[in-house]
């Protein structure tokens, strides 16, 4: 594994091959009368070294898209790729390995083990995988998320924001191809939320990580390089270099369009 942090990709340069790609991706839950089309032929690329936010009203398919792209849920039609790997071509064991080696997760609930220290929580997935952490990378990640002085604390001795930073460090520790964050600031006050979002953004800009985040919050979305908007399982719009006001404007526009259609 390389000891060098990847060079950040300046926001104005076109991305190279995407870290993940959905092509005509559909997801249907249930059958007959109870059938729900959660995703309706979504085509989308997540650029490598980019920070993408997924927004849309409740029930629009955000979590479904993230779960399908992360190999946590099967797809009904189309294609979902991480790097060059087609997820539907993998059996369960291969999928588990891909999730372990190539994907990092940050959830709204921090999901830390209470009896382990911060450092043990961060390195646990790699320990389970039987991989030795790259010490220099681990140091970089821990410094980036500002946890250097807290590594021997247990989760109960940390604030919510610090706990979520441990979860971010855990997601970054194995240097995955892509990190998926599902409302990572949903349980945090605005200051802690801003810190966590700042670290996610830094992981992209400074460490070259690829991050995809589901959020309802225009302020959170403004930390991303790009916002994609879903409605009724379809991709309806996107915004590059978003500001919170720009995102809010776009959301108001969708609301008005939905009311008058
Ligand atoms: N396991 C499931 N079985 C049946 N329907 C489901 C399942 N998971 C999601 N759905 C449906 O698929 C649609 C999309 O759900 P999804 O959770 O992806 O939306 P979301 O945009 O993430 O919503 P929220 O913002 O409320 O979390 C919804 O109509 C939901 O009811």
Q: What are phi and psi of 82, to 5 degrees?
A: -110, 120
Angle at 48 between CA 202 and CA 141, to 5 degrees: 35
| pLDDT tens-digit map of 208-255 | 999 999 999 999 999 999 999 999 999 999 999 999 999 999 988 887
By most ligand atoms within 8 Å of CB, the mutation choice from 34, 39, 63 for ligand 1 is 63
Cα separation, 229 vs 91, whole angstroms = 31
pLDDT digits (tens, 9 = 90+) for 37-70: 999 999 999 999 999 999 999 999 999 999 999 9
The pLDDT value given to residue 4: 45
CB-CB neighbours of 99 under 10 Å: 19
Mutate to test the pocket of ligand 1, among 37, 55, 64, 109 (most ligand atoms within 8 A of CB): 64
Q: Is the pLDDT of residue 5 over 50?
A: no
DSSP 188: S
- pLDDT of 172-181, one tens digit each? 888 898 999 9
Closest CA to ligand 1's atom 3: 29
| Residue 179 · residue 106 · CB < 8 Å | yes
Complex-level ipTM beyond the 0.90 threshold: yes
pTM assigned to the model: 0.88
pLDDT given for residue 163 in this prediction:
92
Environment class of residue 120 by beta-carbon count within 10 Å: exposed (0-12), middle (13-18) or buried (19+)?
middle
């Amino acid at each position: 594994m390389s000891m060098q942090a990847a060079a950040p990709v300046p926001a104005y340069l076109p991305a190279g091959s995407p870290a993940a790609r959905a092509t005509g991706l559909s997801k249907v839950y249930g059958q007959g009368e109870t059938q729900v089309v959660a995703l309706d032929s979504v085509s989308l690329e997540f650029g490598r070294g980019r920070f993408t936010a997924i927004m849309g009203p409740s029930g629009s398919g955000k979590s479904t898209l993230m779960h399908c792209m992360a190999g946590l849920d099967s797809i009904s039609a189309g294609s979902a790729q991480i790097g060059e790997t087609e997820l539907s071509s993998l059996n369960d064991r291969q999928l588990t390995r891909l999730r372990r080696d190539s994907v990092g997760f940050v959830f709204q609930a921090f999901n830390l083990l209470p009896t382990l220290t911060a450092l043990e929580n961060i390195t646990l997935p790699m320990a389970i995988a039987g991989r030795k952490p790259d010490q220099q990378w681990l140091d970089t990640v821990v410094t980036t998320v500002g946890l250097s002085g807290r590594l021997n604390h247990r989760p109960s001795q940390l604030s919510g924001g610090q706990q979520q930073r441990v979860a971010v460090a855990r997601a970054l520790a194995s240097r995955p191809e892509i990190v998926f964050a599902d409302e990572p600031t949903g349980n945090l006050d605005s200051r802690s939320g801003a810190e966590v979002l700042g670290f996610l953004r830094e992981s992209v800009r400074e460490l070259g990580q690829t991050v995809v985040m589901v959020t309802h919050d225009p302020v959170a979305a403004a930390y991303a390089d790009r916002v994609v908007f879903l409605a009724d399982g379809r991709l309806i719009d996107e915004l590059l270099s978003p500001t919170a006001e720009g995102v809010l404007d776009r959301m108001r526009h969708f609301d008005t369009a939905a009311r008058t259609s």
